[in-house]
Amino acid sequence: MDGVRPRTSQYRGLPLKETTMLPKNRPPVHPGEILLEEFLKPLGISQGAFAAHLGSSWTQPKISAIINKRRQITEAIALDFADALGTSAEFWMNLQNRHDLWFERKKHKKVPLLSGINRSRRKARATIK
């Protein structure tokens, strides 16, 4: 490498371009499905019991709405789930973001590249480590 570093954002050296592959033909799993299938069912905990464990602001219908994709994971929900389930808030936010992004990409109308931006040069820089 010739000393050229890939361009990164000002935050924690993250790449400017997302490189994570999203499924093309099927949506990513909704965080509610992960909650139910990977946590509540294996632990043998009902939605009502989980809501009671989370505290007074939680109800079984609120948990049900998340599981049934009628409610999104917010930052506050992600923090509560992370505390209760031994995960990170980022885990829950990333699940929600990937799910939302997949559906938005299906509706998105492509915007032309800004003049003066060389796409092939930018891609080449992003691959240099």
For residue range 63-84, list pLDDT tens digits in order.
999 999 999 999 999 999 999 9
Half-sphere exposure of residue 125: CA atoms within 13 angstroms, side-chain side: 14
The answer to which of 49-58, 65-74, 119-128 has the lowest mean pLDDT is: 119-128
Instruction: Give me the residue spans of the domains in the chain.
Output: 31-106
* pLDDT at residue 24, as a whole number: 73
Q: What would the pLDDT profile of 29-53 be if each residue is shown by its tens digit?
A: 999 999 999 999 999 999 999 999 9
User: How far is Cα 93 from Cα 81, in angstroms, rounded to an integer?
Assistant: 10
Q: Give me the chain's average pLDDT, please.
A: 85
Half-sphere exposure of residue 71: CA atoms within 13 angstroms, side-chain side: 16
SS3 (DSSP) at 4 = coil
CATH class given for the domain over 31-106: mainly alpha
Non-local (6+) Cβ contacts of 123 within 8 A are 17
Average of per-residue pLDDT across 22-32: 84
User: How far is Cα 8 from Cα 17, in angstroms, rounded to an integer?
Assistant: 9
Q: Which amino acid is at 68?
A: N
Q: 48 vs 15, 73, 78, CA distance in Å?
A: 41, 18, 18
User: How far is Cα 59 from Cα 71, in angstroms, rounded to an integer?
Assistant: 13
* pLDDT at residue 25, as a whole number: 83
Residue 92 binned pLDDT confidence (cut-offs 50, 70, 90): very high
Higher pLDDT among residues 118 and 49, named by residue: 49
The answer to whether residue 128 scores a pLDDT higher than 70 is: no
* pLDDT at residue 9, as a whole number: 41
Q: 53 vs 42, 66, 67, 92, 98, CA distance in Å?
A: 16, 16, 17, 18, 27
